[in-house]
Amino acid sequence: MNVDISRSREPLNVELLKEKLLQNGDFGQVIYEKVTGSTNADLLALAGSGAPNWTVKTVEFQDHARGRLGRPWSAPEGSQTIVSVLVQLSIDQVDRIGTIPLAAGLAVMDALNDLGVEGAGLKWPNDVQIHGKKLCGILVEATGFDSTPTVVIGWGTNISLTKEELPVPHATSLALEGVEVDRTTFLINMLTHLHTRLDQWQGPSVDWLDDYRAVCSSIGQDVRVLLPGDKELLGEAIGVATGGEIRVRDASGTVHTLNAGEITHLRLQ
């Protein structure tokens, strides 16, 4: 399938975003700018100044974007959906905050499923991949623990990047996978799924994690886990615990339950 790159990079339809998310949805505010440094940083700055719950910030381009572990990344203007969402939590939800990144990744998978995208999966905890190549990065940051606990969830999803524009060889875009999509429609759909998944997250049941496990491509893989302190663990990822931790069985049969670590898949299934 040939994808019309120029059409994919048309500016976001802000009026439609506000109609679907504010008038017909459950969001508190939609902020749009053409360029910013970091949508996550912008919302973290607004978190303590009365920004309403479920505030959305989206742009065409970021010039100081950050990924996990503070890694910088960038992409041509209009080639991604770049968005952050501010979500306020109750005090009793703070101890479960570690599973929010998983719910955020699952929302992207829901949106890809709606498009019929094949070969998509989540590398633990929330790297969205297609056929093992990274499509979307997610960064979750928290603030306000002394007053109103708040998380800011940020996504950068590659929509129309060409092979020459990819930041790393192991990345991909929807266009490269033969999927043409309107960025505004994709953004609305993904954010709507996020609201649904976080509603589930906020409830008493953890059954939504079964949906996560079903699309987690790390489960069943031989993996290398780079642990804090430059330690390394080799083994097979055998599952995801109810707290969102990855469970890895090493060669001796010992099962390690990890809440942090950089995973590399050693073979593809």
Task: Give the domain extent around 184.
Answer: 5-214
Q: Are residues 118 and 231 in the same domain?
A: no
Examine the fold and report which residue of 214, 231, 251 is the final residue of a domain before the chain moves on: 214
Q: Are residues 174 and 245 in the same domain?
A: no
Query: Tell me, what DSSP letter sits at residue 99?
Result: G
pLDDT tens digits, 185-243? 999 999 999 999 999 999 999 999 999 999 999 999 999 999 988 899 999 999 999 99
Spatial CB neighbours of 79, under 8 Å, sequence gap ≥ 6:
8, 9, 158, 159, 160, 161, 165, 173
Q: Are residues 30 and 146 in the same domain?
A: yes
Q: Are residues 11 and 121 in the same domain?
A: yes
State the average pLDDT over residues 65-88.
78
Q: Are residues 120 and 75 in the same domain?
A: yes
Give the number of domains in the chain. Answer: 2
* Structure confidence at residue 269 as a pLDDT band (50, 70, 90): very low
**Domain with 258 in it: what CATH number?**
2.30.30.100
**Domain with 48 in it: what CATH number?**
3.30.930.10
State the average pLDDT over residues 69-76.
64
pLDDT tens digits, 2-13? 666 767 789 999
- Residue 64: its pLDDT value, please? 63
Beta strand spans in 37-169 (E): 55-62, 80-88, 120-123, 127-130, 133-143, 150-158
Q: Which of 34-38, 47-51, 89-93 shows the lowest per-residue confidence on average (mean pLDDT)? A: 47-51
Q: Are residues 46 and 135 in the same domain?
A: yes
Examine the fold and report which residue of 175, 191, 214 is the final residue of a domain before the chain moves on: 214
Identity of the amino acid at 60: E
- Residue 66: its pLDDT value, please? 55
- Residue 1: its pLDDT value, please? 55
pLDDT tens digits, 141-191? 999 988 889 999 999 999 999 999 998 899 999 999 999 999 999 999 999
Q: Are residues 125 and 166 in the same domain?
A: yes
pLDDT tens digits, 100-145? 999 999 999 999 999 999 999 999 999 999 999 999 999 999 999 8
Q: Are residues 202 and 229 in the same domain?
A: no
Q: Are residues 225 and 251 in the same domain?
A: yes
3-state secondary structure 41-53: HHHHHHHCCCCCC
pLDDT at 43 over 60: yes
Examine the fold and report which residue of 193, 214, 235 is the final residue of a domain before the chain moves on: 214
Q: Are residues 208 and 234 in the same domain?
A: no
- Round to whole Å and give the CA distance between 240 and 171: 25
Q: Are residues 210 and 222 in the same domain?
A: no
- Please choose, from the candidates 137, 114, 117, the residue with its C-alpha nearest in 3D space to the C-alpha of residue 126: 137
Q: Are residues 140 and 236 in the same domain?
A: no
Between 231 and 63, whose confidence is greater? 231
